[in-house]
Structure 1
Amino acid sequence: MKAIALTAALLGAIQAAYSQVHVPQIAGYPGGPANWGTWEIQSYTNSTSNLAVSGQGTLQITAIRDAKGGWTSARIETKRAFMAQPGKKMRIQAALKIPNLGARGIGYWTAFWTLGAEYRGNYWNWPSVGEIDIMENVNNLNRVWGVLHCGTQPGGVCNEPSGLANNRPCPNNAPCPGVFRTYAVEVDRSKTPETIRWFVDGQQLHSISQSQVGTAIWKNITQKPQFVLLNMAMGGAFPDALYGSKTPVASTASGGIFEAQYVAVYNSR
């Protein structure tokens, strides 16, 4: 596999590989849906209080509640976009640590994901551009989700806005929060039907094949470039739905850290 590594070990490499989408505090892409279309409540900032490289060379996203009860956090995305070549495989992988807050993590929404590059500059063509949620964790629960978004909404072959999802605890009855774990997605175009597979610590989390969504929609997902994102939101449709009411709550802790040792894209030769 040919690797294109986007590591947090070198700040210069991160700055070259990623662009900050927050200048200086925003709650959506310019001209795009409010609150990122997911009703999360935080603002993303360019402050090192929210996004920084640690002394150990890891990338840290920190969610902070201010004195008035507002929240700030960070969201970053790769400048480049990536695609599996015909007859080949592409793997997008990261070693990530979800904050370990227990019951005080209500409303936290960490995500490692991709979006179709055609979303840039349009911001209203979701979900047709395709979105692969490689890892999502909400409310600091001891499980992770893998999701595919595609086609049209509401409904469609990807059951939007929910998407085609699966979830599981982390392997070997070990906790998901508070520990570095490896999360990956593999886009396999080496055989028919083509397949997308999700993994946590090498164990399969989810799988979707071309036959499940149809050729035209599949091409939009797998045969067009996707860029990679890391973010930590507060509140929004997903954590609210699982909690059963609006999040975060009064007892939600400020200062939770979403940490990355590396993010890498691998292409088979």
Structure 2
Amino acid sequence: MRFQQSLLACVAPALVSAITPPNIQGMNIIFSEDFEGSAGASPKSNVWNIMDAIDTNNEVQSYTTSNQNVQISGGGTVQFVPRKSPAGLWTSGRIESQGSWTPAPGKVTKIQANILLGDNPIINKQGLWPAFWALGDAMRHGTSWPAAGEIDIMEQVDGLLTGYGTLHCGTSVGGPCNEPVGRAKSTAMPADGFHVWGVTIDRTNDDWTKQTISWTLDGNTFSTVTGADINDAPTWSALAHSPLYIILNVAVGGDWPGAPNLLTLDGYGSMMEVQWVAIYSS
């Protein structure tokens, strides 16, 4: 959805009802967000923290709380819009769930979101880095990265039609997650439309080495990591047995995509639009 369209929606009532997360047979929804609200509003302040003081990965953007960077569309979505000032300075949006959720022992936990990744073809997306991910709540209580655990459910760089699912864990160099690169797998992704990205944490086996973390795109698994692959009980516990919180953001530049192209347009279309987020448990 183009940013101009969402600005026009600010002067008229929303005509589109929010679409709620689908039910999954045998599972209960333990958290959901459908981003219903007035066009131009901020995400719910009792559910999300809108971040404005993040400095990682040599990214060039500053995150802001402005609805120029993150806003409810009025059509049942939240939009993330990176913008470049006349002076060439970048801003963007990042939200983090206030709550955190622990994958329950003996259960299957799914974290999913329905995401549109800026399908406006005239945007030059060099340097843009949208992401949907979960971070160990231990980060909020003094544990360092990557020991707290990080599950990147979906990342895309430079607008290329490749999505990545990645684990970060253990020590900052090397270790079971090959830091700082992480343990990653990729999948081809469609060029347009909303698609459901998810991660499944399966703790139904009492043997932690046989438990799994799996990544899906529209229900199709494209990567699986087992406890045996990590081969370290405390590290696996940080990833699969400990509370996680949810993050949605669009970064600009940084170590992975590199600098944004000078011709990258800003404000013409939302780089990432999210229809719903949900957490399920069996």
Q: Match for residue 31 of structure 1?
A: none
Query: Is residue 231 of structure 2 the alignment partner of residue 204 of structure 1?
Result: no
Contact 1:93 / 1:265 at 8 angstroms: preserved in 2? yes
Q: 1:195 aligns with which of 193, 212, 219?
A: 212
- The C-alpha deviation readout for 1:84-112, integer Å capped at 9, x for no partner, is 11100110000001113557100000000
- The C-alpha deviation readout for 1:149-200, integer Å capped at 9, x for no partner, is 0000211110001100000102xxx32xx32110000000012410000001
What is the number of residues matched between the two proteins? 245
Contact 1:6 / 1:13 at 8 angstroms: preserved in 2? no
Cα separation, 2, equivalents of 1:215 and 1:50: 40
Q: 1:261 aligns with which of 269, 272, 275?
A: 275
Query: Is residue 251 of structure 2 the alignment partner of residue 237 of structure 1?
Result: no
Query: Is residue 44 of structure 2 the alignment partner of residue 14 of structure 1?
Result: yes
Q: Match for residue 155 of structure 1?
A: 174
Cα offset for 1:121? 4.5
1:100-249 map, 5 Å: 100=119, 104-122=124-142, 125-170=144-189, 174-175=190-191, 178-191=192-205, 192=207, 193-213=210-230, 214-240=232-258, 247-249=259-261
Contact 1:40 / 1:234 at 8 angstroms: preserved in 2? yes
1:6-45 map, 5 Å: 6-10=33-37, 14-22=44-52, 26=53, 28=54, 35-36=55-56, 38-45=57-64
Cα separation, 2, equivalents of 1:57 and 1:185: 23
Contact 1:7 / 1:14 at 8 angstroms: preserved in 2? no
TM-score by length of 2: 0.83
Query: Is residue 102 of structure 2 the alignment partner of residue 73 of structure 1?
Result: no
What amino acid does structure 1 have at the position aligned with 2:173?
A: P
- Higher-Rg member (1/2): 2
Cα separation, 1, equivalents of 2:196 and 2:154: 10
Cα separation, 2, equivalents of 1:136 and 1:187: 18
TM-score by length of 1: 0.87
Cα offset for 1:15? 2.6
Cα separation, 1, equivalents of 2:255 and 2:109: 30
Cα separation, 2, equivalents of 1:12 and 1:137: 24
Whose helix proportion is higher, 1 or 2? 1
Q: 1:82 aligns with which of 101, 117, 120?
A: 101
- The C-alpha deviation readout for 1:129-149, integer Å capped at 9, x for no partner, is 000000000000011000000
Contact 1:6 / 1:14 at 8 angstroms: preserved in 2? no
Secondary structure at 2:228's aligned position in 1? helix
Q: What do you get for the CA RMSD once the two structures are aligned? A: 1.6
Cα separation, 1, equivalents of 2:158 and 2:71: 23
Q: Which segments of 5 or more consecutive residues in structure 1 lack a partner in the other structure? A: 29-34, 241-246
The percent identity for this pair of structures is 35
Cα offset for 1:13? 7.6
Contact 1:101 / 1:140 at 8 angstroms: preserved in 2? no
Q: Match for residue 32 of structure 2?
A: 5
